[in-house]
Amino acid sequence: MDTDSLRWDEIHKKIPPDLERHSQYAEKREVLFPRESKICDMAGGLGYDAMYFIGKGHNVIILDISDYALKGAVNSAKASKISKKLAVKKCDFGTGKIPLKDGSVDVVFSRIGFNYFPYKETRLLLAEAYRILKTDGKAFIAFKSPEDVEDYKFLKTNAVELERNVFVEGEQIRSRFTKEQLQQMMEEIGIVDYSVEQFLEERDTIRDEFMKANKNILYLNEVRFKKI
């Protein structure tokens, strides 16, 4: 946990503060949340999407491995006088456990937070996301996709493929699961009310690591499900 945590601290430190803003994915999905939801933002990083959700009247708990990012999120909330609506908790999703009680949130949201684990661990994490949802609660989870040809080619050429579409680049695991693989996970978990669709996010900031590939579109595969 400590090595991963420190590595992510360093990545977050490189994000220029003037580019702090929420994602298009967050904006497009927030309208589908029940009003005044309790949201778990899994791997919510510096909290840009969380601040946006709070601004819309929701309460958010951010789970993330990076102390630096969580501290940044808390400081932003304090500066905007909305700290009562934000909670943060450090955790490592690599353990396959989410430190929240069964049925405790209305919405699970995650943008590019599930791309750092092999197939079985990712499936465990999705099952955990289902567990923490209240009945009728909804999950919106966006994964980086193998349909981004340049990115996929980069990983195929420069990283070691540990298992199908799971790569190790330096010390970091990076998955690029197909829609079919994500559907298979849902079936294996036994989640029935789900969909897996492509979501294309137009790039207008350099708020994440992908800008260095100089692309205009971020290719995401979105897993959505509802707790029944």
Binding range to ligand SAM, per CB under 6 A, among 76-84, 89-97, 133-141, 215-223: 89-97
Q: How many CA atoms lie within 13 Å of 100's alpha carbon, on the beta-carbon side?
A: 32
Site for ligand SAM contains 109 (CB under 6 A): no
Which residues is 199 bridged to in the sheet?
220
Q: Which residue in 39, 40, 43, 166 binds ligand SAM (CB under 6 A)?
A: 43
Counting other chains too, the contacts that 75-81 makes at CB distance below 8 Å and 24 or more residues apart are: 76/20, 76/46, 76/47, 76/51, 77/47, 77/50, 77/51, 80/51
Site for ligand SAM contains 47 (CB under 6 A): no
Site for ligand SAM contains 199 (CB under 6 A): no
Q: Which residue in 29, 30, 45, 105 binds ligand SAM (CB under 6 A)?
A: 45
Binding range to ligand SAM, per CB under 6 A, among 41-49, 119-127, 128-136, 188-196: 41-49
Binding range to ligand SAM, per CB under 6 A, among 32-40, 100-108, 112-120, 184-192: 112-120
Nearest distance in Å: CB 209, ligand SAM: 6
Nearest distance in Å: CB 192, ligand SAM: 27
DSSP assignment of 105-172: EEEEEEES-STTS-HHHHHHHHHHHHHHEEEEEEEEEEEE-TT-HHHHHHHHHHSEEEETTEEEETTE
Q: Which is nearer to ligand SAM, 80 or 95 (CB)?
A: 95
| CA 60/CA 162 separation, integer angstroms | 34
Site for ligand SAM contains 76 (CB under 6 A): no
Q: Which residue in 40, 60, 61, 69 binds ligand SAM (CB under 6 A)?
A: 69
Instruction: Please report the sign of the dihedral spanned by the C-alpha atoms of residue 53, residue 135, residue 142, residue 67.
Output: positive
Residues that bind ligand SAM (CB under 6 A): 4, 8, 23, 43-45, 64-66, 69, 91-94, 111-113, 116, 207-208
